[in-house]
């Protein structure tokens, strides 16, 4: 009987942690010793326990996997886009996990050149990721980054696309991204700090030289900033960007002068955020200058880029967030967000007859995609909703004709979007704020409190969780689940203030918003506490940890993916990857006011003796964003503190990091574990 399997208990080794005269005792601090055999043994024991306790669902997992896989078009390919004389295509072959990157010269009828077959490259690796393909302007060279560990540390190499030869030089410890100067010989790339993994240095590599000869072009010494490099769409300028949570800075250099000196565009000023786009003899600047909380669009001559030369083009609007722009020869396209919904605004440079693309429901996502050509009247954008598969659309901005280039196919013959209902409802938070919830479910569901409902959210870093389609999710919907996304504060779903009111000393709004959304779906009888489930990952895993400490009685089950749960200890350790850059998001606990506030909600520090819902926690041993020991310590503490007989599982992938398994089918296997956890709690066995 499964009941007799004993859960593992981690050894208690108390460590005193003192700050601001306050002492915390961490019984499981030792779990951060990644090379310690005792740590590996504990993680393996947790995995064994999870596998034994869920052994009865293994066949269901296998069946679900086949069901989900059967909906996916295995021999799929992207919509080709034309860049610098070549059509570029990413495609998959039946039965294979990884993409093939290819191109065709001048015409889609031309012979295919396979640039990279990741299925071949991934052989012998338990994890494989190709990133940052960058082709030189003469179309001869392609730089590419490879990560085989899942710590987001890439080795860049260079391939001769004419001969197929990969040059022997290896550029190590990079972000994977790089960009070529106009001379087709000079490659700029970004390296990471070996300990913190912060991207802190821009290097310049010359074809034919050794990696050790590469020069540092820029060193970002402020440890709250990270740096990167790219080329403007106009190809005229190389741009070094530096950014922190609240501040940005750019340096520019003409691409045909790669050995010249980068010049400051506008020096960093704390709180000033801006991004730049070059066109003609000007730069267009999206910025929060002059207290433009929701951002505005300004313009400045390319010869005078300091902020005193910027002039307004689109002024700040209190109700509308300006998210970005796309520039074409005859049109400016503005991406906006109003009342939580994406808007795409078409503005001819002539000033005549601007308009918005029409979208007629409230649970959609629309965004511009690959628009690399200036001299075109075609805008490429993507559209999907919670019940409508994703499509790529070419829109003629002059004639307003749209051509659907591709709609995601859902195979199997059973899917019909008319079988599903989409809704956007508004919960009232405890301070009176209205919080939107997007949901989808099968038609015919009764509001009788008996429906299982999975509520998902993230709620940090100003990252908006737009409604999206998932063919995998159909396996829940078709078994009676309602799926909902809570657009809580801490994201930017309703504009910049939505983010500002869910960070730093207002972070608890994120947690209470989610709890209030949970209460609302129960009140409205979409579900009940017996059938309500919650899910979040990374910073959304912090959300999961906080809500089950604050309101465990609302949920039957919770999934916390790679959860950030030991907030205080992690934010006090500036050797951990990415910590210092997070101070503007969470606060710096070296300041007592932030220490005290973080301590009041940190999930690990607030575990107490009470009943908790059933919990599945997932992590990866090589995670660079949230170290594996945070979820491991949290589970160890929950094991001894929780009352009752609810399930508690820790599933550690010993081969991967923050993003989970690589390969499109391996990733689905991880989802089947989560879904069978939920379905099993609902008594749904097939």
Extract the tokens encoding 154.
């890439």
How far apart are alpha carbons 456 and 465 in whole angstroms? 9
* Residue among 204, 200, 208 nearest 216 (CA): 204
* Residue among 104, 241, 255, 87 nearest 185 (CA): 255
Q: Active site includes 471? A: no
Q: Helix, strand or coil for residue 236?
A: coil
How far apart are alpha carbons 596 and 472 in whole angstroms? 41
Contact 578, 197 (CB under 8 A): yes
Q: Output the CA torsion sign for 574, 575, 576, 582.
A: positive
How far apart are alpha carbons 497 and 291 in whole angstroms? 12
Cβ neighbours of 478 (radius 10 Å): 14
Bridge-based pairing of strands 482-486 and 453-456 is parallel
* Residue among 584, 540, 578, 573 nearest 559 (CA): 540
Of 26, 200, 466, 623, catalytic: 623
Beta strands in 280-417 (DSSP E): 282-287, 296-301, 311-314, 320-327, 331-338, 341-348, 355-356, 364-368, 378-385, 391-396, 402-407
Q: Which residues of 409-448 are buried (b: 16+ CB within 10 A; e: fewer)?
A: ebeeeebeeeebbbbbbebebeeebebbbbbbbbeebeee
Cβ neighbours of 306 (radius 10 Å): 11
Q: Active site includes 134? A: no
Of 199, 538, 602, 624, catalytic: 538
Number of residues that make up the chain:
686
Q: Active site includes 538? A: yes
What residues pair up with 249 in beta bridges, in sequence order? Answer: 242
Cβ neighbours of 570 (radius 10 Å): 23
Extract the tokens encoding 656.
């991967």
Give φ, ψ of 552 to 5 degrees. -65, -25
* Residue among 459, 475, 455, 450 nearest 533 (CA): 455
Q: Helix, strand or coil for residue 30?
A: helix
Contact 204, 187 (CB under 8 A): yes
CA angle 535, 541, 542 (to 5 degrees): 135
CA distances from 407 to 77, 95, 109, 281, 402 (A): 11, 21, 22, 38, 13
DSSP label at residue 121: H
Q: Helix, strand or coil for residue 183?
A: coil
Contact 453, 527 (CB under 8 A): yes
Give φ, ψ of 135 to 5 degrees. -100, 135
How far apart are alpha carbons 534 and 441 in whole angstroms? 16
- Name the residues annotated as catalytic: 538, 623, 658
């Amino acid at each position: 009987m499964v009941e007799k399997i004993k859960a593992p208990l981690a050894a208690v080794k108390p460590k005193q942690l003192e700050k601001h005269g306050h002492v915390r005792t961490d019984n499981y601090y030792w779990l951060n010793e990644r090379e310690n055999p005792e740590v590996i043994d504990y993680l393996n024991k947790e995995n064994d326990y999870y596998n034994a306790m869920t052994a009865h669902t293994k066949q269901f997992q296998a069946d679900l996997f086949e069901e989900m896989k059967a909906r996916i078009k295995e021999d799929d390919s992207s919509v080709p886009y034309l860049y610098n004389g070549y059509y570029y295509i990413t495609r998959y072959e039946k039965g294979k996990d990884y993409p093939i990157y290819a191109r065709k010269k001048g015409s889609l009828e031309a012979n295919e050149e396979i640039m990279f077959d990741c299925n071949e490259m991934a052989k012998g690796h338990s994890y494989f990721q190709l990133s940052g393909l960058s082709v030189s302007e003469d179309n001869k060279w392609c730089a590419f980054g490879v990560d085989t560990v899942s710590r987001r540390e890439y080795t860049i190499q260079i391939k001769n696309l004419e001969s197929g030869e990969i040059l022997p030089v290896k550029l190590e410890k990079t972000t994977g991204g790089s960009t070529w100067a106009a001379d087709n010989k000079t490659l700029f790339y970004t390296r990471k700090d070996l300990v913190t993994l912060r991207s802190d240095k821009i290097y310049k590599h010359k074809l034919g030289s050794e990696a050790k000869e590469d020069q540092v072009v820029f060193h970002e010494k402020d440890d709250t900033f990270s740096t990167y490099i790219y080329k403007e769409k106009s190809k005229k300028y190389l741009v070094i960007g530096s950014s922190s949570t609240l501040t940005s800075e750019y340096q520019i250099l003409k691409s045909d002068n790669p050995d010249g000196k980068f010049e400051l565009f506008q020096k960093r000023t704390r709180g000033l955020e801006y991004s730049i786009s070059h066109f003609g003899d000007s730069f267009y600047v999206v910025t929060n200058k002059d207290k433009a909380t929701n951002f505005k669009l300004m313009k400045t001559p390319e010869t005078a880029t300091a902020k005193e030369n910027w002039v307004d083009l689109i002024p700040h609007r209190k109700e509308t967030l300006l998210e970005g722009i796309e520039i074409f020869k005859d049109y400016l396209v503005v991406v906006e967000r109003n009342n939580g919904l994406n808007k795409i605004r078409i503005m001819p440079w002539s000033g005549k007859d601007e308009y918005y693309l029409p979208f007629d429901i409230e649970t959609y996502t629309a965004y511009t995609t690959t628009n690399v050509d200036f001299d075109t009247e075609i805008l490429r954008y993507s559209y999907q909703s919670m019940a409508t598969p994703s499509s790529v659309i070419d829109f003629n901005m002059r004639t307003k004709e749209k051509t659907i280039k591709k709609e995601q196919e859902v195979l199997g013959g059973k899917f019909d979007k008319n079988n599903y209902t989409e809704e956007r409802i508004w919960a009232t938070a405890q301070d009176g704020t209205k919080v939107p919830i997007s949901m989808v479910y099968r038609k015919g569901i009764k509001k009788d409190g008996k429906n299982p409902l999975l509520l998902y959210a993230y709620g940090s870093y100003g990252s908006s969780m737009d409604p999206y389609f998932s063919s995998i999710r159909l396996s829940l919907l078709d078994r009676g689940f309602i799926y909902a996304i809570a657009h809580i504060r801490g994201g930017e779903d309703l504009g910049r203030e939505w983010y500002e009111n869910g960070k730093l000393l207002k972070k608890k709004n994120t947690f209470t918003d989610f709890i209030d959304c949970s209460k609302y779906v129960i009140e409205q009888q979409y579900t009940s506490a017996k059938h309500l489930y919650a899910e979040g990952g990374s910073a959304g895993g912090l959300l999961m940890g906080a809500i089950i400490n604050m309101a465990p009685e609302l949920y039957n089950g919770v999934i916390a993916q790679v959860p950030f749960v030991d907030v205080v200890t992690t934010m006090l350790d500036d050797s951990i990857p990415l910590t210092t850059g997070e101070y503007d998001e969470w606060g710096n606990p070296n300041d007592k006011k932030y220490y005290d506030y973080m301590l009041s909600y940190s999930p690990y520090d607030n575990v107490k003796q009470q009943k908790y819902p059933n919990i599945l926690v997932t992590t990866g041993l090589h995670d660079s964003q949230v170290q594996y020991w945070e979820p491991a310590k949290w589970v160890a503490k929950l094991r001894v503190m929780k009352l009752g007989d609810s399930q508690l599982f820790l599933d550690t992938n010993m081969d991967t990091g923050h993003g989970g398994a690589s390969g499109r089918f391996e990733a689905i296997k991880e989802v089947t574990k989560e879904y069978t956890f939920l379905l099993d709690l609902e008594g749904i066995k097939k």
